[in-house]
Amino acid sequence: MSTIPSQEATSLHPEIIERIRGLMPKEEHILDLADLFKLFADSTRVRILFALTKAELCVYDLAALLGVSQSAVSHQLRLLRNAKLVKNRREGKIVYYSSDDYHVDIVMNIALEHLKEEKGSSAEDLE
Amino acid sequence: MSTIPSQEATSLHPEIIERIRGLMPKEEHILDLADLFKLFADSTRVRILFALTKAELCVYDLAALLGVSQSAVSHQLRLLRNAKLVKNRREGKIVYYSSDDYHVDIVMNIALEHLKEEKGSSAEDLE
DNA sequence: TTTTCATATGAATTATTGTTCATATGTTCA
DNA sequence: TGAACATATGAACAATAATTCATATGAAAA
């Protein structure tokens, strides 16, 4: 994913490019952003995030709800935990997970809005 | 990515699960959401989206700005176009791209906020 | 302390995806 | 028309990432 492109490109509008270059976020921040969105880019994780904004659930509950293995859920929860999108607390043997970030709900809803508008043009069923 | 899990899970709290199940969005919408976020989950596309909220740019400009091949940019632009996140207009030989959705800017900024808060706890440089 | 239960994790496998190279399409200008 | 230029696209390859299986950890109950 990182070899030197041999088909290099030279800008057609160098002045504009220079101006934009000054406005771009630092590469580090771009990577962080992409990494964060990667977490929303998988249907299993989206469903986990959705469920956890509605209730505090244990791993087995999530596995049953989503119809995937306990292991798969656990692996995904670790990713979400590392990014501080979900938190957990232990009660005896059971570990309860819940949403740890109000942004999640907001972002999800904005995304759903975009989808509505996008499909709206072709006047499909939206419900 | 879709085989039947042999390590099946049974819920520990069936009543709660049933309640949540009723609140979950349709599978179709979940998949659409994940697909939409996939578009934000790549640093090249994030940079394209960022740049296009600042100015209208042609393919060569973007390639030069990002330091990637014209082909790579073009492939990515197609994905963004299909999702109606960017639009384009042709002027002679040149095709100008620009942002086609105000949500993009909003979502990006919310995500950046989350990152700030996430890192804030470890008091790192944020600038 | 042994057994059982809930969760976590490592390694392997499979699926997905981004980039490259080569080439096609479409537009302008000579 | 043909040459030159800007962009688009198909196929192949390389890199990532999600799931599975097997097993480890950690807590409670017997």
C-alpha closest to that of B84 among B47, B42, B52, B43: B52
User: How many residues are present in chain B?
Assistant: 127
Coil, helix or strand for B9? coil
pLDDT at A1: 38
**Residue A121 banded pLDDT, cuts 50, 70, 90:** low
| Average pLDDT rounded to a whole number, residues B74-92 | 96
A72: nearest nucleotide, CA–C1' criterion: D19
| Average pLDDT rounded to a whole number, residues B83-110 | 93
The token pair that represents A97 in the structure block: 């997970």
- Taking only the tens place, the pLDDT of each residue in B9-19 is 567 788 899 99
CB B124 within 8 A of CB A89: no
- Beta-bridge partner residues of B98: B87
pLDDT at B105: 87
Q: Do A38 and B41 touch (CB under 8 A)?
A: yes
Q: Give CA–CA dist A44/A72, Å, rounded.
A: 9
Give the contacts of B39 (CB within 8 A, at least 6 positions apart): B45, B79, B80, B83, B85
The token pair that represents A89 in the structure block: 């607390």
Report the residue of chain B nearest A66, measured CA to CA: B21
Q: Do B42 and A34 touch (CB under 8 A)?
A: yes
**Residue B35 banded pLDDT, cuts 50, 70, 90:** very high
A68 touches strand C (CB under 7 A): no
Q: Give CA–CA dist B11/B17, Å, rounded.
A: 7
| Average pLDDT rounded to a whole number, residues A8-26 | 84
| Average pLDDT rounded to a whole number, residues A104-115 | 86
C-alpha closest to that of B57 among B95, B83, B19: B95
CB A71 within 8 A of CB B6: no
**pTM listed for this prediction:** 0.86
B69 touches strand C (CB under 7 A): yes
CB B21 within 8 A of CB A47: no
C-alpha closest to that of B97 among B71, B62, B65: B62
- Taking only the tens place, the pLDDT of each residue in A68-107 is 999 999 999 999 999 999 999 999 999 999 999 888 888 8
Alpha-helix runs per DSSP H in chain B: 14-23, 27-38, 43-54, 59-66, 70-82, 102-120
Angle between helices A27-38 and B102-120 (to 10 degrees): 100
